[in-house]
């Protein structure tokens, strides 16, 4: 049996270290403070008894749990990221432990009247009677993805302490900067040496994902002319009106707040505007590759039409692909998803196989030669003050890791 308090203490020791990443930084890791937890993890991996524990110049951590069987078993890996999202502050996280959650409102912060309520976040009711870890309402929690790290470390520790559980060689990998889309950029797949891996980076219990969005980022610049407004007739060109025209030319309902499942979207997430120049920052997402390409073409067509209509280059558009749907790389080795599904069912966990409305390190790693489905880590409401994670979910994910290792070894023995 896993030690619940030990798991809580480990998780809290991770989330109280600030590891927020920075999309504007050019370094890896993008923030110096990510080293604090990275170095802590290296020492912990050594302490629990893993072999070949390394950290490279970019803070990528790798370690090995050697096989304890004589027959050949595929080498599998488990990967999580230690940075937290720049969407909301991760400084001075003060986790709160709610024992035997009663299904009612949780007061996160009395002074600021910040409440985590099941009337808004209905998933809370799935965890009545369980132990929840929440924020104090002023920061995110960091369960994305420190819950994943906690699960992997705890599973390796458990397997070391229970040699009766037979497994092949297991590789562990922890990465910086996943939240800013760079987590896999400097991951050395060859050195990692796994046949396949799993990211522990999903949400609720049972999630098992091997499809994700194709993703691109678009920067749209609009060019105007600034003149004194009192003498502007026929001379001033206000770039913000061009930007407004562009925004309204895109399909109004194809945005995150109106889409679900396999539906893609255009998401305007940031804008800077002055008369002379306005910049819009979009992300473009779609599971279907053809529709993904069509979305990029829609943006290009709008820009070209505006430039033609105004007889000048009033819009410039720069689109860069970010990652692709891992389904293309995982489907040919679908047995790796089947093993994870079998592990969950063996633990009485109902697998929730669905597409990720986002991406993980695994989507990039799959295209780098390391097929990498995604498994639940247990947290909810990522990237904000309402983030929480049930301790029982962390424990279940830890058990899934151990069970995957056991099933992989058994299947290799019988094949």
Question: Residues with catalytic annotation?
Answer: 83, 178
Provide the 3-class DSSP secondary structure of residue 156: helix
Contact 206, 352 (CB under 8 A): yes
Residues linked to residue 174 through DSSP beta bridges, in sequence order:
61, 80
Q: Are 17 and 31 in contact (CB under 8 A)?
A: no
The torsion angles phi and psi of 60, rounded to 5 degrees, stand at -80, 125
Backbone angles phi, psi at 281, to 5 degrees: -115, 120
* Tokens of residue 181, six digits: 């889309």
Beta strand 114-116 with 106-109 is antiparallel
Separation between Cα atoms, residue 229 and residue 141, nearest integer Å: 48
Structure tokens belonging to residue 86: 């720049």
Helix, strand, coil in percent for the chain, rounding step 5: 35, 25, 40
Distance (Å, whole) CA 74 – CA 197 = 11
CB–CB of 256/235 below 8 Å?
A: no
């Amino acid at each position: 049996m896993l030690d619940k308090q030990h798991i809580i203490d480990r998780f809290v020791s991770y989330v109280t270290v600030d590891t927020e990443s920075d999309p504007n930084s050019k370094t890896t890791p993008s923030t110096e403070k990510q080293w604090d937890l990275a170095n802590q993890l290296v020492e912990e991996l050594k302490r629990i008894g893993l072999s070949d524990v390394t950290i490279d110049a970019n803070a990528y951590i790798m370690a090995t749990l050697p096989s304890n069987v004589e027959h050949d078993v595929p080498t599998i890996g488990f990967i999580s990221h230690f940075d937290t999202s720049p969407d909301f502050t991760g400084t001075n996280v003060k986790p709160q432990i709610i024992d035997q959650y009663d299904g009612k409102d949780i007061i996160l912060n009395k002074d600021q009247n910040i409440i985590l309520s099941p009337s808004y976040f209905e998933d809370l009711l799935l965890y009545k009677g369980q132990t929840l870890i929440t924020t104090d309402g002023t920061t995110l929690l960091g369960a994305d993805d420190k819950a994943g790290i906690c699960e992997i470390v705890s599973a390796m520790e458990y397997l070391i302490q229970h040699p009766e559980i037979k497994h092949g060689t297991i590789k562990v990998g922890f990465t910086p900067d996943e939240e800013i889309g760079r987590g896999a950029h400097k991951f050395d797949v060859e050195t990692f040496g796994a046949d396949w891996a799993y990211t522990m980076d999903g949400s609720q219990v049972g999630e098992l994902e091997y499809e994700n969005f194709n993703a691109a980022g678009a920067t749209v610049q609009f060019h105007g002319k600034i003149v004194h407004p009192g003498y502007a007739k026929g001379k001033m060109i206000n770039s913000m009106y061009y930007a407004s025209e562009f925004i309204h030319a895109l399909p109004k309902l194809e945005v995150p707040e109106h889409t679900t499942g396999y539906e893609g979207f255009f998401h305007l997430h940031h804008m800077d505007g002055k008369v002379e120049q306005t910049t819009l920052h979009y992300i473009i997402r779609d599971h279907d590759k053809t529709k993904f390409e069509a979305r990029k073409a829609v943006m290009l067509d709008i820009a070209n039409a505006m430039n033609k209509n105004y007889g000048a280059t009033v819009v410039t558009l720069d689109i860069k692909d970010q990652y692709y749907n891992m389904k293309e790389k995982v489907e040919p080795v679908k047995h790796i998803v089947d093993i994870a599904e079998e592990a969950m069912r063996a633990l009485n966990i109902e697998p929730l196989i669905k597409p990720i409305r986002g991406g993980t390190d695994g989507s990039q790693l799959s295209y780098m030669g390391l097929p990498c489905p995604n498994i639940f880590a247990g947290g909810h409401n990522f990237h904000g003050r309402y983030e929480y994670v049930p301790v029982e979910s962390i424990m279940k994910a830890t058990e899934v890791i151990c069970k995957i290792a056991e099933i992989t070894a058994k299947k290799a023995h019988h094949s």
